[in-house]
Structure 1
Amino acid sequence: MIEFKIETEYIPLISLLKATGLVENGGEAQAVVSEGMVFCNGEVELRKRFKVRPGTSVEFEGHTIKVI
């Protein structure tokens, strides 16, 4: 599990995927979200600009990110 601390109210989903190194760039992040490969709190998330807030769990390719 990856714990990712944010200092703001939220982080956009594609920015979180880039910041944790699970994707190499923004284009790849947008593609994996559009293809339904990312889950937020157990639900498929298709919104690229989804606001990930502390307490949210994001899953992608066997990795879990816990935003704190």
Structure 2
Amino acid sequence: MENLTIDTEFITLGQLLKMANVISSGGMAKWFLDEHIVYVNGEEEQRRGKKLRDGDIIKIQDIGTYKVIGLPDGQTDVY
């Protein structure tokens, strides 16, 4: 499982796909989600705008599993 750290309250599923280098541009998110099975916290998800928050687990079949990690309150830098 790969951890993906965010510095905002949430990111969208489309942003996560780009952050994880699963897609090369945000415009590919809709196509990717139409062609691949993606689970968010164990439930199949196809909305690129789905909000992901600290602790969410995203499983992309045949690619990998990712966990969203939020920064502690007040911290704004990712190190």
Q: TM-score range by the shorter chain?
A: 0.7 to 0.9
Query: Runs of 5+ in structure 2 lacking a partner?
Result: 70-79
Q: Percent identity?
A: 38
The aligned residue for residue 67 of structure 2 is 66
Runs of 4+ in 1 over 6 A off after TM superposition: none
Paired residues, number: 68
For residues 20 and 36 of structure 1, do their structure 2 counterparts lie closer, same or farther at Cα, with a shift above 3 Å needed?
closer
Give the alignment's TM-score, normalised by structure 1: 0.86
**Alpha-carbon distance between aligned partners in 1 of 2:68 and 2:17, rounded to the nearest angstrom:** 12
Q: What amino acid sits opposite 1:66 in the alignment?
A: K
Q: What amino acid sits opposite 1:19 in the alignment?
A: M
**Alpha-carbon distance between aligned partners in 1 of 2:36 and 2:43, rounded to the nearest angstrom:** 10
Considering only CA atoms, is the larger Rg found in Structure 1 or Structure 2?
2
Give the alignment's TM-score, normalised by structure 2: 0.75
Deviations 1:22-55 (A, max 9, x none): 1222233221223452110111102110000011
